[in-house]
Amino acid sequence: MSITYQTSYCGRPVVLESALDVTFDKHVWENALGKKADKTAKWFDNLVLDYTETFSRDTLWHNPYGERSSVKDAYNGLLLRH
């Protein structure tokens, strides 16, 4: 199993399908939580998604510096909960 993502802009690919992975320092994890870290090879090997949500934002934010005082902030997002 692997988790992948891809990004497009105006219907054209910007980032092709790529693997999404995170590496944890298990020593720090064990010290912080006071228990042994999970021994799975990948952090998502035993991941079960309980909830997913897609959303879109299309707002303006105001920049006090630079050439443009208003900057468009438009994007689509995906929220994953486990």
Nearest to 14 by CA among 80, 81, 75: 75
The larger pLDDT score, comparing residue 78 to residue 82, is at 78
pTM, 2 dp: 0.50
Q: What is the pLDDT of residue 24?
A: 66
Q: Model confidence over 34-70: pLDDT tens digits?
A: 777 666 666 677 778 889 999 999 999 998 887 888 9
Computed over every residue of the chain, the mean pLDDT equals 83
How far apart, in whole angstroms, are the C-alpha atoms of residue 20 and residue 3?
A: 6
Q: CA torsion angle for 15, 20, 25, 29 (degrees, to 10)?
A: 130
